[in-house]
């Protein structure tokens, strides 16, 4: 990719949350050196969705500009497990599991990253040999007070939630990784900002140039509201079928479409700007969603798959003869999810939950044209889909929260209890926290 300096800088800055400090980034880019760009990842079995690829896409930008990506798998702490013994689900990983997971990673991330410009590293390489005395040396470089400034630590400390002392060591080890790797730049989710800055601090202590920290926003899920996550069922997995991907992308709101284009598309900023203009002049956003869906499916499957998914989508809607006018129904729900059978009953598409269950079992229920076989399926709040029961009953149903006030308090609770989610950033905070 041949870009001048301003274009390169603009590409790097696209979609970022923060660059700390931006001036140093410019200096590094101007140096003409091949920069060492670090990003850390959990050693747990990856099952990536588009949310995770925001970071990978940014790494790809650096590769496109000729730099080297250091893909760090944080296996050292993964193999320790949870020393406090409180989190029984955090069993220590074996070396075999780590290696196995790393293979799965490679299969997935090399759909985006260029293998020739990617080094896969394991921090057990340099941390595994460290002695207790070495760790004490590292721990001497940072203070308790500064560690307690980290948002989640501060909240837990002030609300009397226990923090085990080893949790203070993990950000230091993560920071030491930057020392061992001589990182020029480290990327992470914006919830990782603190930990990334620890790396800067430790590099200074070890007499190295300090890495530039770049954080990426967390991608919103299909609902356009909460961050994309498995547990909220608002995600697009990168291993999902082309048809699923197509349907899900077509279901997003027009606003969210622009957000996804910025963070997920490889189209140039100029091109996207052009589309915005055209939309303002009357172009149907659906046509842009189709192009975007094809781009994403091509990336993770193939161009042929993308075209076929598009056809299938069109056929499905034609075959099922969707009426031009579909009634819109809002169903207010007080939880984050509603069982599909309850939704159908409440919206009047089934006479009761038993009826709804029977209809699903008879393959008579479709969501966005797709046949549903799971009678226990749950529908997330803040989603809008077209529900069909048989040929005749059809409605666009929005699952909306009971009231804004209630939803907002619920949301903050969800954010803290969502432990299953593999977030786009490297080792995430909740992982440290257990």
Q: Does 140 bind a copy of itself (CB under 8 A)?
A: yes
**Binding to a copy of itself by residue 83, rule CB under 8 A?**
yes
The answer to whether residue 136 forms part of the interface with a copy of itself (CB under 8 A) is: yes
- Binding pattern for the stretch 145-184 against a copy of itself, x by CB under 8 A and - elsewhere: x-xx----x---x--x-xxxxxxxx--xx-----------
Size of site (CB under 8 A) for a copy of itself: 41
Under 8 Å between Cβ of 232 and 38: no
The single residue among 82, 239, 262, 370 that binds a copy of itself, judged by CB under 8 A, is: 82
- The continuous run of DSSP H or E covering 367 comes out as strand 365-367
**To the nearest whole angstrom, how small is the minimum distance from the Cβ of residue 176 to a copy of itself?**
10
In terms of CB distance, is 132 or 404 closer to a copy of itself?
A: 132
> How many Å apart are CA 332 and CA 280, to the nearest integer?
32
**66 or 162: whose CB is closer to a copy of itself?**
162
- For a copy of itself, the closer CB: 88 or 133: 133
Query: Among residues 100, 134, 311, 374, which is the contact residue for a copy of itself, using CB under 8 A?
Result: 134
**Least distance from a copy of itself to the Cβ atom of residue 147, Å:** 7
Q: How far is the CB of 97 from a copy of itself (least distance, A)?
A: 16
128 belongs to the binding site for a copy of itself (CB under 8 A): yes
| Residue nearer to a copy of itself on the CB measure, 134 or 406 | 134
The H-assigned helical ranges of 253-388 are: 254-264, 269-280, 285-300, 303-319, 340-347, 353-361
Q: Does 85 contact a copy of itself by CB under 8 A? A: yes
Is residue 76 at the binding interface for a copy of itself, with CB under 8 A as the rule?
yes
Torsion sign over Cα 97, 103, 106, 107: negative
Query: Which contacts of 109-113 are long-range, i.e. CB under 8 A and separated by 24 or more positions?
Result: 109/48, 109/56, 109/71, 111/238, 111/299, 111/300, 112/53, 112/56, 112/57, 112/59, 112/60, 112/299, 113/56, 113/59, 113/60, 113/63, 113/69, 113/71
139 binds a copy of itself (CB under 8 A): yes
Considering the complex, what minimum distance in angstroms separates the CB of residue 220 from a copy of itself?
33
Find out whether 359 and 387 touch, Cβ atoms under 8 Å.
no
CA–CA distances in Å: residue 254 to residues 186, 225, 235, 276, 330 = 32, 13, 17, 11, 19
């Amino acid at each position: 990719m041949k870009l001048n300096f301003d274009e390169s800088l603009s590409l790097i800055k696209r979609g970022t949350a923060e660059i700390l400090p931006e001036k140093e980034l410019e200096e590094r880019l101007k140096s003409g050196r091949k920069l060492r760009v670090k990003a850390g990842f959990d050693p747990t079995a990856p099952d990536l969705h588009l949310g995770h690829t925001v970071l990978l896409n940014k790494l790809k930008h650096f590769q496109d500009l000729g730099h080297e990506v250091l893909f760090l798998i944080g296996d050292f702490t993964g193999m320790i497990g949870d020393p406090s013994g409180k989190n029984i689900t955090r069993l220590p990983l074996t070396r075999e599991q780590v290696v196995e997971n790393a293979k799965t990673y490679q299969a997935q991330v090399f759909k985006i990253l260029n293998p020739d410009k990617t080094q896969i590293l394991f921090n057990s390489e340099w941390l595994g040999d460290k002695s207790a005395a070495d760790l004490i040396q590292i721990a001497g470089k940072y203070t308790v007070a500064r560690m307690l400034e980290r948002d989640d630590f501060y909240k837990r400390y002030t609300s009397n939630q226990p923090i085990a002392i080893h949790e203070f060591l993990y950000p230091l080890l993560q920071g030491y990784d930057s020392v061992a790797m001589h990182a020029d730049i480290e990327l992470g989710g914006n919830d990782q900002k603190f930990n990334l800055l620890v790396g800067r601090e430790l590099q200074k202590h070890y007499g190295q140039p300090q890495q530039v920290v770049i954080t990426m926003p967390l991608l919103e899920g299909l609902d356009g509201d909460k961050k994309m996550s498995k547990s909220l069922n608002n995600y697009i997995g990168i291993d999902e079928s082309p048809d699923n991907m197509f349907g899900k992308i077509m279901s997003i709101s027009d606003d969210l479409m622009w957000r996804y284009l910025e963070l997920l598309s490889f189209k140039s900023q100029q091109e996207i700007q052009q589309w915005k203009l055209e939309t303002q002049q009357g172009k149907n956003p659906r046509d842009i969603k189709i192009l975007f869906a094809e781009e994403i499916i091509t990336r993770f499957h193939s161009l042929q798959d993308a075209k076929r998914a598009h056809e299938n989508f069109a056929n499905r809607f034609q075959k099922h003869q969707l009426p031009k006018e579909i009634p819109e129904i809002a169903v207010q729900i007080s939880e984050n999810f509603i069982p599909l059978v309850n939704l159908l009953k409440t919206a009047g598409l089934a006479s009761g939950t038993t009826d709804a269950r029977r209809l699903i079992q008879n393959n008579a229920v479709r969501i966005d044209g797709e046949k549903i076989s799971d009678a226990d399926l749950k529908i997330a709040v803040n989603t809008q889909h077209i529900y069909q029961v048989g040929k005749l009953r059809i409605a666009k149903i929005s699952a909306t929260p009971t009231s804004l006030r209630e939803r907002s308090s619920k949301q903050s609770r969800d954010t803290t209890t969502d432990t299953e989610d593999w977030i786009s950033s490297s080792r995430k905070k909740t992982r440290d926290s257990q």
